[in-house]
Amino acid sequence: MSTPPSVLPDISPSRGEIGSFADCAISQTLEIGETIGDSRSPPLRGRCPAGQRGARRIASLGVLYAILSFLFLPVTALAADLPALTGRVVDNAGIIDAATEAALTQKLADFETTSSNQIVVATIPSLEGEQIEPYATRLFRSWKLGQAKENNGVLLLVAMNDRKMRIEVGYGLEGTLTNLQSKRVIEDDMMPAFRAGDFSGGISKAVDDMVLVLEGSR
C-alpha cells in the first residue's frame, strides 16, 4: 500500500526548466514582476478660504490612498491560489486519465521508497496571471517536497490554460537533474505529446525519464 508524500520542513527549492507547449519556448529565467509606473496627481491651482484648506488636504490624501490601493491591487492579485497536496499526483486540471494517474502514483511511491527522492506531479487550470516560476517556487515551498536534510524533492508542474510547464528541483538534486536534463525532458517528452493532445502520455514519459536520470541510468 502506497504512503502519502512526505511533508517535511526546511526544503529549499532551486531552479527549474520552463516550457510552453504553444511555441516551444524554453527559458531559464522569467520576468517575475512588473514595475508600477509613477503616478502623480495634478497640482492644485488657485486659492481657497482658510476653512476649506484642511478639508481639501484631507480629500487629496483620500484620493492618493485610493490611487495607491488601485496600483498595488494587481500585484497582490497575481498571487494565485495554491492547491492542496492530496497525493503524488495532483491533477486539478483534469488532464491525466485515471489509469495513468494510478500507475504514476504507484511508480512515484516505489521510487520514493527505494531512493528517498520525491517527485510530485501537479496540474492546474490556470496561473491566474502569475508567472509560472514564482508560482512553482511557492508551491514547492508550501508542499515541503522531499526530505528536509536532503533537499531532494522535484515538482513537475503543468498550467493547462497558460500552456506552460516547469520542473522545480530541490538543491540536493540539482547536480543530478540539471537544467539541461530538465530542458530535454520538457522538449523531448512533454511538448510533442502535449501538442498531439496526449497529456497523460507526455507526463508519464517525463516522469519515467526523470526517474532514470535520478537513478543514474540516463
pTM of the model: 0.70
Supply the pLDDT for residue 180: 95
Each residue of 21-44: pLDDT tens digit? 664 333 332 222 333 334 344 443
Work out the pLDDT band at 48, boundaries 50, 70, 90.
Answer: very low
CA distances (Å), origin 34, targets 14, 55, 75, 83, 189: 22, 35, 8, 25, 32
CATH 3.90.230.10 fits 13-28+84-215, yes or no: no
Amino acid 19: pLDDT: 75
Q: Give residue 217's pLDDT.
A: 74
Strand order across the 164-170 sheet: 26-27, 13-20, 164-170, 153-159, 118-124, 89-91
pLDDT at 13 over 90: no
pLDDT over threshold 60, residue 9: no
